[in-house]
Structure 1
Amino acid sequence: MKAPMTVLIAGRNARELEELEQMLANQSGLSVSTRLITNGHSDPLHNVVDLPDALVFCTTVAWEDELKSLDERPAQGRVPTLVTGPENTTVMRTSMRVGARDYFTFPVQKQELLEALWRVARELQPANEQAGGLFAVINAKGGSGASTLAAALAHSLADRIEDRVALLDMDLQFGHLASGFDMQESGSLIDAILRADNMDLLALEGHMMKHKSGLHLLGNSSDQLVVPGDIDESQLQKLMMLLRSGYDHTVVDLPRQIDGVTGALLESADRVLLVMQQTIAHIQDARRLLHYLTRYLGVPEERIGVVVNRWNKRLALTTSDIEKALGVNDLTCIPNDYARVAESANLGVPLLEAAPSSLVSRSMVQMAESLSGKKVVPQSGLGRVWRKLAGA
């Protein structure tokens, strides 16, 4: 989990400071403190050694001196600042002239203040800072089990790695991931995409379903027919940026098709997991999809992992056969345990909870370890069925 953004609320009016502190208390991603200015200085950051990431400055009738003190601070001693004050055009314009990012009058609207703070948070994120990982899971051939594995991977990351994880069900017409967690579809993926311009993490969480493991699920519960052409790809990208800024990992279950929506997600994914089974027909479709990914979407080969679901060592096709046919060097093999997986789905209980010692569960936990780069309690007895996907 990323460190929260530190916010200092400063000013001479104790009542206003308390009101703003209560407004921002317990907000995910924020660490809030207050400073009542009583030292005779107008500068809210006077003698502050560890500068906050953002400042909320409550001005008073002495606003001219207070804003002047902000303007006189050296460049290295400035932080992104939001100003509160009277409903006065002169004060507002002066605030903006000295560098304020936004201006608010009391009573401050909570949602507007949060949105301004999240805008600052996004601006502060360095371009080279690694955002939360994006893992796209897609079937090479229909029915290969991509949705099951996407759900199991996301659940493993949340439950065993204990990271902050979002799971997106991008099957806009027949998505069903919520049923695997015994949750009734209530998410609003389409609405979240439409509102991505003005949405912060708090608002986004309001659109998501929450599982007891800590996993957050976003799907489409609308009865209206939605097709990929209805999705604004630029809005979708903004939503993904918001997810990656607030979650350690985002797992996306993609439908088996190449269009503007899936293409955008596949291109931006840190890892594309191509799910297939141990048959010639699956090899043929996997080879075609690999061609589309690398040739037309420009996804580097090293970002693509081939996952063979329901692996059975007794079948004629070996890992070497599949690797040779697809031109890949490494496979991830998930053992076949159809009965337990089907029972888990029917009960609406994640496999890791229903059968934590099964080979499938242990394989998915190891996949979560590999993709996250973190370790959980070692799982024994798995043997060499699992082959590392990310190359630790």
Structure 2
Amino acid sequence: MIPTMRVLLAGRDASQLSELEKVLVSGTSHILSLRHITSGNPDPLLNLPEPPETLIFCVTKAWEEELRALDQRPAARRPPTIVVGPENTAVMRMAMQVGARDYFSLPVPEYELRSSLKRIAEGAQADAGIRCAPLTAVINAKGGSGASIIAATLAHSLADRLEQRVALLDLDFQFGHLSSLFDLPADGGLIDAIVRSDSMDAVALEGHMLKHKSGLHILGDTSQQLIVPGDIDEGQLKKMIGVVRTGYDYVVADLPRQIDPVAGVVLESADTILLVVQQSIAHIQDARQMVRYLTTYLGIAPQRMKVVVNRWEKRLDLDVTDIRKTLEIEDVVCIPNDFAKVAESANLGTPLLEFAPSSPVSRSVVSLAESLSGKKVESGFGLGRVLRKLART
């Protein structure tokens, strides 16, 4: 989750400010204010009642005077700054000398500007010591690939085997069913949590969660009315996810197969995206299209993606090398085919790790959980492990 910041967009050229405002309003959820400098003093921070957390400073042909005015302020009293100016190495050099974190020329690449703001926000968050749990988003490249089972088993593995405090988010607002995989009642409070995100902390949010005996907490929707993506406020969703990440060690989000503003909020915030496919040409073709959407329209680097090949069969012709080459993603994880056990587990509402703990699927997903978390499963079922599990519920 990218923390929300107060961002000041300042400069003398009104047309530049207008152009950048459109980019920032559509591409981020930061609190944006504008300052069109019309006085003789080009200092963008002059007489502000409250300094911004980030400054985007648009310089003009008088860039030397403008940057010098900013430089006259003590470095400790200048917010992290992004400078937008002409494509000129002299301007760029001076901008860096006065402490700019980044430099862009018009037209500003939207995704690069958004990434720059994200780095600044995450740096501020780290400096403040704010807890921010890793977020893994799981999404099908083609319908029916098994993303929900992967998400549920992954979250359960992190909670039960790796003893993490884990939140599982069921973000399919129309057909979400993750609670049924754990034999839990469908009475989650996802929509209410999103609506109340402005006034909610991690403790209050936990009251909206379903609790499984493993310690896993699940947040889904049980609204009886039809919810479509336009009904969800992206800013509130982003805040809610941020609250979740402050209260847990790890967050797993199960997404429906669609690219829309709601999915975009989650995918852009995710540390890792698991793209779930099956071993067929049709699945890989759809996965290639999905990767193109994620990289081109959301600016997500392929390094943040892992391909999870569900129901893997060694005897089939399509192998891992073909998948890597086609999708241009190196990290490919294969989950062996054990359809009968997985289907029976889902029908009974018994998590796969309980129903078939030694199955190839269970072992593979636990291994994936270890890889994502950087932790190893501790063997043994002693009193200490039992007490730790009770503490997480």
Which amino acid counterpart does residue 235 of structure 1 have in structure 2? Q
Structure 1 partner of 2:229: 228
Structure 1 partner of 2:28: none
CA separation in 1, counterparts of 2:217 and 2:242? 16
Structure 1 partner of 2:374: 373
Answer whether contact 2:131 2:246 (CA < 8 A) is retained: no
CA separation in 1, counterparts of 2:328 and 2:264? 22
Structure 2 partner of 1:238: 239
Matches within 5 A, 1:161-240: 161-240=162-241
Which amino acid counterpart does residue 309 of structure 1 have in structure 2? N
Instruction: Find the residue that maps to 2:127 and give its secondary structure.
Output: coil
Q: Deviations over 1:56-99 (max 9, x none)?
A: xxxxxxxxxxxxxxxxxxxxxxxxxxxxxxxxxxxxxxxxxxxx
Number of matched pairs: 257
Matches within 5 A, 1:32-71: none
Structure 2 partner of 1:339: 340
The Cα shift of 1:325 comes to 1.4
Which amino acid counterpart does residue 323 of structure 2 have in structure 1? I
Query: Residues 128, 203 of structure 1: CA spacing in aligned structure 2 closer, same or farther, 3 A cutoff?
Result: closer
Gaps of 5+ in 1: 1-122, 379-392
Structure 2 partner of 1:153: 154
Instruction: Find the residue that maps to 1:317 and give its secondary structure.
Output: coil
Structure 1 partner of 2:299: 298
Which amino acid counterpart does residue 213 of structure 2 have in structure 1? K
Query: Residues 178, 320 of structure 1: CA spacing in aligned structure 2 closer, same or farther, 3 A cutoff?
Result: same
Which amino acid counterpart does residue 150 of structure 1 have in structure 2? A
Which amino acid counterpart does residue 140 of structure 1 have in structure 2? A
Q: Deviations over 1:92-114 (max 9, x none)?
A: xxxxxxxxxxxxxxxxxxxxxxx
The Cα shift of 1:202 comes to 1.9
The Cα shift of 1:321 comes to 1.3
Q: Deviations over 1:24-73 (max 9, x none)?
A: xxxxxxxxxxxxxxxxxxxxxxxxxxxxxxxxxxxxxxxxxxxxxxxxxx
Query: Residues 198, 376 of structure 1: CA spacing in aligned structure 2 closer, same or farther, 3 A cutoff?
Result: same
Gaps of 5+ in 2: 1-123, 380-393
> Please, what TM-score do these two structures have when normalized by structure 2?
0.64
Instruction: Find the residue that maps to 1:313 and give its secondary structure.
Output: coil
The Cα shift of 1:129 comes to 5.5
CA separation in 2, counterparts of 1:232 and 1:197? 12
Structure 1 partner of 2:71: none
The Cα shift of 1:324 comes to 1.4
Which amino acid counterpart does residue 260 of structure 2 have in structure 1? D
Matches within 5 A, 1:21-170: 126-127=127-128, 131-170=132-171
1:357 to 2:354 alignment: no
CA separation in 2, counterparts of 1:333 and 1:188? 34
CA separation in 1, counterparts of 2:216 and 2:230? 29
The Cα shift of 1:130 comes to 6.0
Query: Residues 346, 278 of structure 1: CA spacing in aligned structure 2 closer, same or farther, 3 A cutoff?
Result: same
The Cα shift of 1:377 comes to 4.0
1:289 to 2:290 alignment: yes
CA separation in 1, counterparts of 2:317 and 2:296? 30
Deviating runs (4+, > 3 A) in structure 1? 123-130
Instruction: Find the residue that maps to 1:136 and give its secondary structure.
Output: strand
Structure 2 partner of 1:72: none
Answer whether contact 2:130 2:246 (CA < 8 A) is retained: no
Instruction: Find the residue that maps to 1:349 and give its secondary structure.
Output: coil
The Cα shift of 1:328 comes to 2.1
> Please, what TM-score do these two structures have when normalized by structure 1?
0.64
Structure 1 partner of 2:95: none
Instruction: Give the root-mean-square deviation of aligned CA atoms.
Output: 1.7
The Cα shift of 1:152 comes to 0.3
Structure 1 partner of 2:22: none
The Cα shift of 1:127 comes to 4.7
Query: Residues 304, 124 of structure 1: CA spacing in aligned structure 2 closer, same or farther, 3 A cutoff?
Result: closer
The Cα shift of 1:128 comes to 6.8
Segment of structure 1 superposing worse, 265-274 or 126-135: 126-135
The Cα shift of 1:181 comes to 0.1
Matches within 5 A, 1:242-257: 242-257=243-258
The Cα shift of 1:330 comes to 2.9
Give aligned-pair identity as a percent.
66
CA separation in 2, counterparts of 1:207 and 1:130? 20
The Cα shift of 1:126 comes to 3.3
Structure 2 partner of 1:70: none
Answer whether contact 2:305 2:329 (CA < 8 A) is retained: no
Which amino acid counterpart does residue 250 of structure 1 have in structure 2? V
Instruction: Find the residue that maps to 1:217 and give its secondary structure.
Output: strand
